[in-house]
């Protein structure tokens, strides 16, 4: 067995464990959960949907992220089984990191309020990394994919904040926030 293979056996679980511990600590310090009374978007008078009315959409996007992309990545014969596992790992970590990164821009008294709207938005940011995962599948290690997840979701949240809040651009289907990284 090559030396890099045994080295990767240690790097990946250690990095994943460290990142998850950091994420748990950040959630414990900064995150509160919505009580269901308000949805955190009170400043937008055109948004009148009840959070529970959007739950079916959340389920649909969630199934697309975990099942759809997961089995889509089985197209490579050699990486079929591992791609499903890595997809689940990246999706789970991406959702957690996406909630944190997007919540940074919408903090209320130093806290990130998690609700259905923010979870759907985190699903879309995770969809971005899974598209990139499909492009680099078979060429990158799981460690590189975890680092890519952190960087891409962070850049996604910065880009989304700039487009939606600073430039105040109304984007059809969030095209300006989801795909500029892919077009370069």
- CA trace torsion 151, 152, 158, 164 (10° rounding): -170
Decide which of 53 and 20 is more confident: 20
Q: What is the mean pLDDT of residues 141-160?
A: 93
**Domains: count for the chain:** 1
Residue 10 has pLDDT above 80, yes or no: yes
Residue 1 has pLDDT above 80, yes or no: no
The domain in which residue 134 lies consists of 3-183
Classify residue 144 as left (phi > 0), alpha (psi -120 to 50) or beta.
Answer: alpha
- pTM for this predicted structure: 0.79
CATH code of residue 92: 1.10.3430.10
Decide which of 76 and 67 is more confident: 67
Contact of 64 with 131, CB cutoff 8 Å = no
Instruction: Report the pLDDT value the prediction gives residue 8, as an integer from 0 to 100.
Output: 73
Contact of 46 with 56, CB cutoff 8 Å = no
Structure tokens at 179: 């795909």
Distance CA 126, CA 140 (A): 18
């Amino acid at each position: 067995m090559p030396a890099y293979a045994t080295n990767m056996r240690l790097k990946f679980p250690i990095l994943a464990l460290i990142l998850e511990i950091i994420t748990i600590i950040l959630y414990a310090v900064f995150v509160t959960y919505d009580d269901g009374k308000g949805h955190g978007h009170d400043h937008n008078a055109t948004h009148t949907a009840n959070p529970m009315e959007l739950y079916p959409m959340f389920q649909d996007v969630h199934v697309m992220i975990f099942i759809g992309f997961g089995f889509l990545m089985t197209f490579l014969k050699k990486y079929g089984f591992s791609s499903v596992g890595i997809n689940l790992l990246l999706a789970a970590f991406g959702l957690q990191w996406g909630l944190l990164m997007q919540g940074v821009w919408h903090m209320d008294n130093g806290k990130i309020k998690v609700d259905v709207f923010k979870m759907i938005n985190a699903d879309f940011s995770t969809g971005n990394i899974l598209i990139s995962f499909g492009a680099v599948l078979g060429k990158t290690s799981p460690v590189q994919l975890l680092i890519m997840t952190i960087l891409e979701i962070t850049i996604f949240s910065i880009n989304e904040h700039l487009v939606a809040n600073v430039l105040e651009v109304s984007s059809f289907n969030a095209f300006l926030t989801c795909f500029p990284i892919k077009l370069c």
